[in-house]
């Protein structure tokens, strides 16, 4: 039985779970700030959220995965996976995060983010870079806000365009 492969797959799954929990937390804050990327970034830097434990633990795990010990021993990867699973579970059980009621824009944003992550993670996994796929998930977990803000900005461009077209159609009907 190949323990290295099993632990690498477990690391990818744990990384995806912690990324989903982190995106949930970030999306709640983005919704509170009216889906404004600018307000979200100001909140992020003013609240010291960029170096909170939720973001430091995946970064430390990423550094540990890059070590030669992780490449040689499946037990090191298993310990890293347990740490990331513990982070995901504590974020899931946290009373701090309120329930998420998504708008249409929020749903589209989350679906696009998850599709990007799934496509990139799957392509790395299929290419037999299993440890690198787990490291990619850890990197995205640490910097989930960058991905979320980028996709939110792109969705906002299409939303504004649609709103402007709808307004111009309504104005034409009034005339």
User: Mean of the pLDDT values across residues 7-17?
Assistant: 87
> Model confidence over 77-133: pLDDT tens digits?
889 899 999 988 888 887 665 566 777 777 888 888 888 888 887 787 777 767 888
DSSP state of 98: P
At residue 168, does pLDDT exceed 70? no
Report the half-sphere exposure of 122 (CA within 13 A, side-chain side). 6
Q: Cβ distance 13 to 130 under 8 Å? A: no
Give the pLDDT band of residue 162 (cuts 50, 70, 90): low
Q: Which alpha helices (H) appear in 47-126, and where do they start and end?
A: 53-65, 68-72, 74-93, 104-126
Residue 7: closest CA among 98, 80, 60, 114: 80
> Model confidence over 96-105: pLDDT tens digits?
655 667 777 7
User: Mean of the pLDDT values across residues 134-139?
Assistant: 86
At residue 167, does pLDDT exceed 50? no
């Amino acid at each position: 039985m190949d323990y290295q492969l099993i632990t690498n797959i477990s690391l990818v799954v744990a990384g995806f779970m912690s990324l989903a929990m982190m995106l949930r937390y970030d999306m709640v804050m983005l919704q509170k700030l009216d889906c404004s990327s600018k307000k979200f970034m100001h909140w992020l830097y003013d609240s010291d959220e960029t170096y909170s434990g939720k973001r430091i633990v995946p970064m430390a795990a990423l550094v540990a995965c890059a070590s030669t010990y992780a490449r040689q021993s499946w037990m090191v990867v298993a310990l890293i996976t347990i740490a990331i699973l513990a982070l995901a579970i504590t974020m899931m059980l946290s009373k701090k995060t309120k329930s998420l009621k998504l708008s249409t824009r929020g749903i589209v944003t989350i679906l696009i983010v998850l599709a990007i992550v799934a496509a990139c993670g799957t392509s790395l996994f299929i290419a037999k870079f299993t440890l690198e796929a787990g490291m990619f998930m850890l990197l995205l977990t640490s910097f989930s806000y960058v991905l979320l803000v980028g996709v939110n900005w792109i969705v906002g461009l299409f939303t504004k365009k649609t709103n402007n077209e709808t307004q111009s159609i309504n104005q034409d009907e009034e005339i």
